[in-house]
Structure 1
Amino acid sequence: MSSVLKRIKIVADREGMSVSAFEATIGASKGVFTRALANGTDIQSKWLISLVEKYPQYSSEWLLKGEGDMLRPISIANEEEEKYLTPELEGIHNTIIYTLKQVVASQNVTIKSQEKTIVSLERLLSSLEQEIKSLRNK
């Protein structure tokens, strides 16, 4: 198996999909990578170009030559540039997102409870206003 194909398999695994599903995401016919992996044959360069275009967070130098980091570094120099997370930062971001979702869910429960309390208080207020009104009219 070629080293490039091994790295393609790593990318597919990291993206959480089978090689067949990964082929589909870059527009390759079913079996382009799986046959090459099974037979130890090369793939056309157009599939590598498509992979790099579809998944720009992966370093093309790493993909082609196995050199450098797998992921491109985060660039904060220019706001228009795309930003990519290292696995460590991605884990931190996922933890923050999970925590914030829990806070939002908790706040939604509080809001629903407060809405019920408000409705009950409005009913009580209306009832008391009616009672006062009827007492004044006697």
Structure 2
Amino acid sequence: MVSKRVGQYIEAKGISYYAFENSLGSSRGSISKAVKDGKSIGSNVLEKILSVYSDINPVWLLTGYGDMFAEPALTGNGAVKTYRLKTDTTVESQQIPLYDLEAVAGIVPIFSNDKAIQPVDHISIPHMPKCDGAVYVTGDSMYPILKSGDIVLYKEVNDIANNIFWGEMYLMSIAMNDEEYITVKYIHRADVPGYIRLVSENKKHQDKDVELSKIRALALVKASIRINAML
């Protein structure tokens, strides 16, 4: 429930409901009552919250996934977000290889541990969940969480049939008509046995059910990096 998470954020910030409501220009008691009664909060108020309180993670606020607070800036012109499971432990320091998907013709060769596949660079971010690699993403199916040109950092899934965390975000390779289709989607349970449902963040993209057996490679998305060019 979004209203519950708003209450958790207010408590974590140590501010009063009155001060919070006043900062948004909302009527007194409107948000405190919504939190107390578990009622919905209007989209215009949510937009105002995200505008005024820039340290809140919009993904967490709207879906409950990830951390409450947005990650600090990676550099002066970039930002990193993490998507942690409750069971994740962080690594103090790691060198995460960054691969060029066009150069290696997909993620299957990367996951095969082919020594001939060389990363184009390495990424080092302290106190991150353990990651196996990183790639650039294309397309807008996960917008606004991800946009074309962002980098996703991932942890490979070796036992695809048994190790899916339903509702989480995944990088995957799907066999379609003898070609490899690479995408980032949420994975949900499908109504038909043997299938999974691929769900986009961008509601312009329809959900799609695919056979689990057609997933050639799968990796849980652990973090994303967005570079904002400053001209």
- Scaled by the length of structure 1, what TM-score is found? 0.51
Contact 2:56 2:69 in 1 (8 A): yes
RMSD across aligned positions (CA): 2.1
* Higher relative contact order (Cα pairs below 8 Å, separated by 6+ residues): 2
Q: Between Structure 1 and Structure 2, which shows a larger proportion of strand residues?
A: 2
Amino acid at match of 1:44: G
Match in the other structure for 1:53: 51
Report SS of the residue matched to 2:61: helix
Unaligned runs of 5+ in 2: 81-231
Deviations 1:45-68 (CA, angstroms, capped at 9, x unpaired)? 111100001111111010011001
Q: Would you say 1:74 and 2:75 are equivalent positions?
A: no
Write the distance in 1 (CA, Å) between the matches of 2:52 and 2:14: 15
Q: How far apart in 1 are the matches of 2:55 and 2:70? A: 5
* TM-aligned CA deviation for residue 81 of structure 1: 6.2
Cα displacement string for residues 3-32 of structure 1 (whole angstroms, at most 9, x for unaligned residues): 211111111112211222211111111111
4+ residue runs of structure 1 moved beyond 3 angstroms? 80-83
* Gap regions ≥5 residues in structure 1: 84-138
For the 8 Å contact 2:6–2:35, the answer to whether it is kept is no
The answer for the alignment partner of 1:39 in structure 2 is: 37
Q: State the alpha-carbon separation in 1 of the partners of residues 14 and 46 from structure 2.
A: 19
- 1:7 and 2:5 correspond: yes
Bigger radius of gyration among the two: 1
Separation of aligned partners in 2, 1:37 and 1:68: 21
* TM-score of the pair, normalised by structure 2: 0.32
> What pairs up with 1:46-125 in 2 under 5 angstroms?
46-77=44-75, 79=76
Contact 1:61 1:67 in 2 (8 A): yes
What is the identity percentage for the equivalent residue pairs of Structure 1 and Structure 2?
30
For 2:9, give the aligned amino acid.
V
- Change in Cα spacing, 1:11 to 1:71, as seen in structure 2 (3 Å) is same
State the number of aligned residues: 80
* In 1, Cα distance between equivalents of 2:7 and 2:42: 16
What is the alpha-carbon distance in structure 2 between the residues aligned to residue 74 and residue 39 of structure 1? 33
Aligned residue for 1:76, secondary structure, equals: strand
Residues in 2 aligned to 1:7 and 1:72: alpha-carbon distance in whole angstroms: 14
TM-aligned CA distance change 1:6 to 1:40, over 3 Å: closer
- Answering whether residue 49 of structure 2 is matched by residue 20 of structure 1, we say no
Q: Of the candidates 22, 28, 31, which is equivalent to residue 30 of structure 1?
A: 28
- Whether contact under 8 Å (1:5, 1:37) holds in the other structure is yes
C-alpha distance in structure 2 between counterparts of 1:43 and 1:18, whole Å: 18
Larger helix proportion of the pair = 1
Contact 1:32 1:43 in 2 (8 A): no
